[in-house]
Amino acid sequence: MTPLLAKSIFVLLAVGWFIIRFPYARRSRSMRVVRSARGAREIALLLTSLTGLGILPFVYIATGFPRFAAYPFGPAQAWIGLFVALASLAMFRLTHRALGRNWSVSLDVRENHELVTDGIYRHLRHPMYTGFWLWAIAQALLLPNWIAGFAGLVGFGILFFGRITKEEEMMLESFGDTYHEYMSRTYRIVPGVF
Ligand code: SAH
**Residue 189 CA: which ligand 1 atom is closest?**
7
Which positions ≥6 away from 127 have C-beta within 8 Å? 91, 94, 95, 120, 121, 189
**Residue 120 CA: which ligand 1 atom is closest?**
8
Residue 190 falls within a domain, yes or no?
A: no
What count of other Cβ atoms lies within 10 Å of the Cβ of residue 60?
24
**Residue 127 CA: which ligand 1 atom is closest?**
8
One-letter amino acid of 103: W
∠ CA 123-135-153 to the nearest 5 degrees? Answer: 100
User: Which of 134-170 are b and which e, b meaning 16 or more Cβ less than 10 Å from the residue's Cβ?
Assistant: bbbbbbbbbbbbebbbbbbbbbbbbbbebbeeebbeb
**Cα(121)–Cα(2) distance, rounded to whole angstroms?**
36
Structural domain including 164 reads: 3-185
pLDDT in tens, 34-76: 888 788 999 999 999 999 999 999 999 999 999 999 999 999 9
Residue 30 falls within a domain, yes or no?
A: yes
Kindly report the pTM of this predicted structure: 0.97
List all residues whose CB is within 6 A of at least one atom of ligand 1.
Answer: 95, 99, 102-104, 107-109, 115-116, 121, 126-129, 167, 171
Residue 194 falls within a domain, yes or no?
A: no
Instruction: Report the number of distinct structural domains present in the chain.
Output: 1
Query: Backbone phi, then psi, for 84, in 5-degree steps?
Result: -65, -40
Tens-of-pLDDT digits for all 194 residues of the chain?
999 999 999 999 999 999 999 999 998 888 889 888 788 999 999 999 999 999 999 999 999 999 999 999 999 999 999 999 999 999 999 999 999 999 999 899 998 899 999 999 999 999 999 999 999 999 999 999 999 999 999 999 999 999 999 999 999 999 999 999 999 999 999 999 99
CATH number at residue 36: 1.20.120.1630
Q: Best of 101, 103, 120, 182 to mutate for ligand 1, by most ligand atoms within 8 A of CB?
A: 103
Which positions ≥6 away from 114 have C-beta within 8 Å? 102
